[in-house]
């Protein structure tokens, strides 16, 4: 694997401009003072109760996601290019989803094998011919991006169903502003605090035409035992909307009604964090106690908007991901601004042959896997693990894709031995409403805290960082950038 690009100390060890002020600050800050603030940040996170659940663990089902106090910094110029690529990609994803549930032009053009759509377990035939308001399927997208050199970002995967992590982005910024006002005062950092307002605006903008002037929005959660329940309650509070479970909603006359202390109230937009399978027991899994009976009927009647739309899981599929360059070109007539990681589709015999011969060098992923589970990182795997995966690939090649082991960029990170480089990725959040797309300046940086590890997922021991987008032209007026006030 190639030597990783260090985002602070670039090629040749030359300090990069975006990190110059941070480097000066680090020299002025005694190590014990930095360690004290790191412990204070952990204490604040514990007091706030920012945790996530890990399924399958007998003990300690609630974990604190480790937070690293050294920010990851991007220049405004770097962000501008990244933002353009994100907007382009999400626009193409929405057009692709509309097409496969309506005209299917891309299938007739034979750019994607039809069986990859129709035999996919996350394809929803119930959405065939179903119109969604303003043709927006993916209202909230989390696009995982990795960096390999000063000029190149790659999209690692698309999260188009129920992307999580935005609460950590917002809380990370709050903690940094509280603990490091002196460091903030040296930079002009684009704010992320506008995200809840932007999200609420986007959700209201796609309300059905039958909604009232002020549409009612609710956030649907599976409940307190869900791994992301903290985020659900956090976002409902920030948005100022009701946090509801399936039992709090009923469907009458194809309208969704919410039980309140003042009686039943119509709900126009549901920001749902419940998977397709469980959202309506009359349409999908009849044993689901998490959903709302009849919800899909109200949806089909055009009386409620679901964000994200039902059926978006097909855009999360890692085999479909491999066709994203063709998808962007087909719908937009443009070359992708953000590249895909080169991908071998194990369902294709020549690809499978190459992967089986090179398992020790590749990363192999389940097509429907997530959270860092069910994958093989060849260079770090034992011979037994490689042979086990070889057997799985041979038995079910359609269930896997493979990619080269990228040298993910590194950022300085606090460790027990002091500052050290650790690999990072980035999950920016893209909001699509009726007439505009908003990209929050920054996103959630995830960091692999184990030395040499490439796995950044929190469930696999990864942590998070605050992500700073700097103003390269401090004298220019810009709505994107503002000097953050010190948090109280």
Mean pLDDT of 466-488: 62
pLDDT of 439 over the 70 cut: yes
What are the tens digits of pLDDT across the range 321-332? 999 999 999 999
In a domain, 304, yes or no: no
Total tally of structural domains belonging to the chain: 1
Tell me what pLDDT residue 66 has: 87
Tell me what pLDDT residue 62 has: 61
In a domain, 349, yes or no: yes
pLDDT of 388 over the 60 cut: yes
Q: Which of 47-61, 100-114, 282-296 has the lowest mean pLDDT?
A: 47-61
Residue scoring higher pLDDT (399 or 432): 432
Mean pLDDT of 173-177: 95
In a domain, 122, yes or no: no
Mean pLDDT taken over the chain: 90
Count of CB atoms situated within 10 Å of the CB of 326: 14
In a domain, 94, yes or no: no
Which of these, 314, 297, 323, lies nearest to 112 by C-alpha position?
Answer: 323
Residue 249 phi, psi (nearest 5): -120, 145
Mean pLDDT of 432-454: 92
Question: Hey, which residues does 438 pair with through a beta bridge?
Answer: 431
The residue written with tokens 């996919």 in the block is 120
CB neighbours of 203 closer than 8 A, spacing ≥ 6?
139, 215, 217, 269, 271, 305, 307, 433
The residue written with tokens 């005694």 in the block is 30
The parent domain of residue 371 ranges over 343-405
Percent of the chain with pLDDT over 70: 91
Tell me what pLDDT residue 488 has: 35
Tell me what pLDDT residue 245 has: 97
pLDDT of 487 over the 50 cut: no
pLDDT of 58 over the 60 cut: no
Tell me what pLDDT residue 370 has: 62
CB neighbours of 89 closer than 8 A, spacing ≥ 6?
143, 155, 158, 324, 328, 336, 337, 338
Q: Are 222 and 278 in contact (CB under 8 A)?
A: yes
In a domain, 385, yes or no: yes
pLDDT of 187 over the 60 cut: yes
CB neighbours of 59 closer than 8 A, spacing ≥ 6?
none
Tell me what pLDDT residue 243 has: 98
pLDDT of 460 over the 90 cut: no
CA distance 200 to 374: 35
Tell me what pLDDT residue 55 has: 47
In a domain, 367, yes or no: yes
Mean pLDDT of 61-87: 90
pLDDT confidence band for 1 (50 / 70 / 90) = low
pLDDT confidence band for 60 (50 / 70 / 90) = very low
* The pairing of beta strand 217-220 with beta strand 269-272: parallel
Mean pLDDT of 333-351: 95
Mean pLDDT of 29-50: 86
Q: Which of 93-102, 237-246, 376-385 has the lowest mean pLDDT?
A: 376-385
pLDDT of 461 over the 90 cut: no
In a domain, 348, yes or no: yes
Tell me what pLDDT residue 51 has: 58
* CATH number of the domain enclosing 389: 3.30.1490.270
Question: What's the N-to-C CA distance of the chain in angstroms?
Answer: 45
pLDDT confidence band for 296 (50 / 70 / 90) = very high
CA distance 164 to 28: 36
In a domain, 386, yes or no: yes
What are the tens digits of pLDDT across the range 264-274? 999 999 999 99
Q: Using DSSP, state whether 388 is helix, strand or coil.
A: helix
Residue scoring higher pLDDT (39 or 293): 293
What are the tens digits of pLDDT across the range 203-244? 999 999 989 889 999 999 999 988 889 899 999 999 999 999
pLDDT of 403 over the 70 cut: yes
Q: Which of 52-56, 95-99, 169-173, 229-233 has the lowest mean pLDDT?
A: 52-56
Tell me what pLDDT residue 405 has: 87
Which of these, 158, 430, 112, 89, lies nearest to 318 by C-alpha position?
Answer: 158
* Size (the chain), residues: 488
Question: Is 301 buried (19+), middle (13-18) or exposed (0-12) by CB count in 10 A?
Answer: middle
Here the tokens at position 325 are 């360059």
Tell me what pLDDT residue 481 has: 53
Task: Report CA torsion sign: 249, 250, 256, 261.
Answer: negative
């Amino acid at each position: 694997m190639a030597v990783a690009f260090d985002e602070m100390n670039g090629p040749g060890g030359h300090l990069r401009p975006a990190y110059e002020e941070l480097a000066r600050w680090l020299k002025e800050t005694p190590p014990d003072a930095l360690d004290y603030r790191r412990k204070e940040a952990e204490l604040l996170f514990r007091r706030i109760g920012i945790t996530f659940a890990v399924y399958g663990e007998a003990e300690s089902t609630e974990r604190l996601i480790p937070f690293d106090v050294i920010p990851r910094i991007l220049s405004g110029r770097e962000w501008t290019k990244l933002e353009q690529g994100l907007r382009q990609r999400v626009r193409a994803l929405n057009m692709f989803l509309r097409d496969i549930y309506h005209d299917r032009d891309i299938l007739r053009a034979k750019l994607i094998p039809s069986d990859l759509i129709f035999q996919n377990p996350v394809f929803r035939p119930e959405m065939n011919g179903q119109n969604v308001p303003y043709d927006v399927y993916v209202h909230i997208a989390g696009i995982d991006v990795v960096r390999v050199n000063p000029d190149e970002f790659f999209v690692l995967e698309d999260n188009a169903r129920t992307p999580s992590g935005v609460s950590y982005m917002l809380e990370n910024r709050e903690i940094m502003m509280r603990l490091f006002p002196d460091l903030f005062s040296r930079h002009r950092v684009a704010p992320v605090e506008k995200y809840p307002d932007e999200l609420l605006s986007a959700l209201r903008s796609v309300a059905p035409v039958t909604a009232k002037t002020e549409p009612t929005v609710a956030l649907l959660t599976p409940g307190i035992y869900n791994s992301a329940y903290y985020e659900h309650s956090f976002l409902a509070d920030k948005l100022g909307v009701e946090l509801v479970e399936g039992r709090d909603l009923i469907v009458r006359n194809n309208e969704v009604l919410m039980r309140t202390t003042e009686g039943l109230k119509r709900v126009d937009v549901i920001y749902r964090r419940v998977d397709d399978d469980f959202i309506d027991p009359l349409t999908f899994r009849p044993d689901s106690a998490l959903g709302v009976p009849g919800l899909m009927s109200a949806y089909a009647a055009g009386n409620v908007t679901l964000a994200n739309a039902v059926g978006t899981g097909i855009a999360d599929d890692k085999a479909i991901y491999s066709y994203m360059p063709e998808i962007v070109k087909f719908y937009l007539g443009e070359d992708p601004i953000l590249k895909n990681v080169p991908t071998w589709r194990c369902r294709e015999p020549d690809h499978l042959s190459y992967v089986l011969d090179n398992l020790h060098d590749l990363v192999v992923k389940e097509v429907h896997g997530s959270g860092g589970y069910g994958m093989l990182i060849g260079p770090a795997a034992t011979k037994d693990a490689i042979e086990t995966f070889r057997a799985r690939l041979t038995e079910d090649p359609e269930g896997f894709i493979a990619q080269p082991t990228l040298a993910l960029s590194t950022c300085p990170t606090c460790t027990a031995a002091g500052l050290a480089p650790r690999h990072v990725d980035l999950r920016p959040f893209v909001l699509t409403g009726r007439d505009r797309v908003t990209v929050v300046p920054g996103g959630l940086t995830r960091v692999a805290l184990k030395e040499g590890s490439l796995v950044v997922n929190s469930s696999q021991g990864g942590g998070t960082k605050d992500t700073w987008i700097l103003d390269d032209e401090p004298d220019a007026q810009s709505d994107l950038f503002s000097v953050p006030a010190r948090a109280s």
